[in-house]
Structure formats: structure tokens, C-alpha cells
Amino acid sequence: MGNVIDTIERLGLVPVIKLEDAKDAVPLARALLEAGLPVAEITFRTDAAEASIKAIAGKLPEVLVGAGTVLSVDQAKRARAAGARFIVTPGFNPRVVDYCVENDIPITPGINNPTGVEMALERGLSVVKFFPAEASGGTVMLKAMAGPYVGVRYIPTGGISPDNLARYLSMKQVLACGGSWMVPSGLIAEGKFDEIRRLVKEAVTLVEHAREK
């Protein structure tokens, strides 16, 4: 799990991607790679997720591809078989988390309160997804939880935008952020990968500037 987490921390931003057609997976992943953000969280919200992960893992192994919105053990198994190198869940599903921990599959479960943090710590996990970040109190909530849970790192997702990205990344508790503004579904469906590449480059610059402060 170390290599996956280290890579995500180094990049600082995880594109959360909804793909309706697996044919768009490789062109999108190539755009991410060329823009300097070689990581993709493909959400299991569409039927194309499994095939998309498989395509990226097979043709662009230099892109760290994972599966998001994983709601069941079956989805976790399918994602892993397709080549997903990490699993992300929107909430804390004990069955999914336990399966991943027992099988050494990197997982960042979703939490938004102290109970979720303690459930993660009980399973030896110190990196969690903070979701939905803005709706759950944003940086104010993260600061409140930082006191009792020293050493826990968060990947805030949900409501993250260019306007608040720097505020999150300025916190030492934040490992990276998850966002979808640079990979909008409309541009993907229209095949406008040059525009996506531009948006991703802008996002990478935002991360760099946030970390310089």
C-alpha cells in the first residue's frame, strides 16, 4: 500500500472520473499522463467502469488506476481483477474494507466523523477519504478531528474545486484531494481530450502553487 499512498501524496490530486464508454478510458488516461497527473479513480457508477480500468491498466501501466464508489465485495473483486491498484469507498462498509485489508489491497474508505476514523484505525488504516468534504464541514471539521487523531491523513473529496483546493492542501493532515472539475463527463463524452489536458495542467499548477506556500 505504501507505494500507492506515496504516489498519491506526491501528486496531491486524484481525478475522480465517471466514464460512460470504455473507449474513452485510454485517451483520457493518456491526457492525464501528458498533463503530469498520472492517476485515475474510475468510479463504479457506470457499467463501463470495469472495462475502463482494464484498458488503462493494460495499455498505460504508468498511470496509477484505481476504482472508486466501490459498494460491495463483488465490485472490489472485479475491480482488482481488472487491474485496479487501489479501492475507494464513499462510506465505511466493514465488509469491503475487511476484504481489502485481508487481501492486501490498498483502500481508502470514506468517513466524515470520528466514529469512521476509529473504525479505520481499528483495522490499521491511517489514510481515509473525507467525504463529502465540503458538506461535512470542510477544513473546519478536519481541524477539529486533527486533535484526537494525530497521524491520520485525509483525502478530502466532494465539493473540492480550484477555489478551495489550496485551503485543503495547506493542512498537514491532508494527503491529497479528490476532484472531478478537471475531468468533466461532458468533455469526455465529446472526446475533447485536448481541453481536458489543459484543465488538468491548470490543476497540477494549482497543486504546485498550494504546496509552495
> CA-based angle 182:156:63, to the nearest 5?
50
Residue 130: strand pairing partners: 111, 156
Any catalytic annotation for residue 212? Answer: no
CB burial class (10 A; 0-12, 13-18, 19+) of residue 123?
A: middle
Specify the 3-state DSSP secondary structure of 128: strand
Q: Which helix (H) or strand (E) holds 155?
A: strand 153-156
Which residue in the list 18, 41, 50, 134 is annotated as catalytic? 41
Any catalytic annotation for residue 129? Answer: yes
Which residue in the list 50, 54, 129, 134 is annotated as catalytic? 129
Q: Which of 80, 127, 116 is nearest to 100 (CA)?
A: 80
- Provide the grid cell at 108: 481508502
- Which residues are tagged catalytic? 41, 129
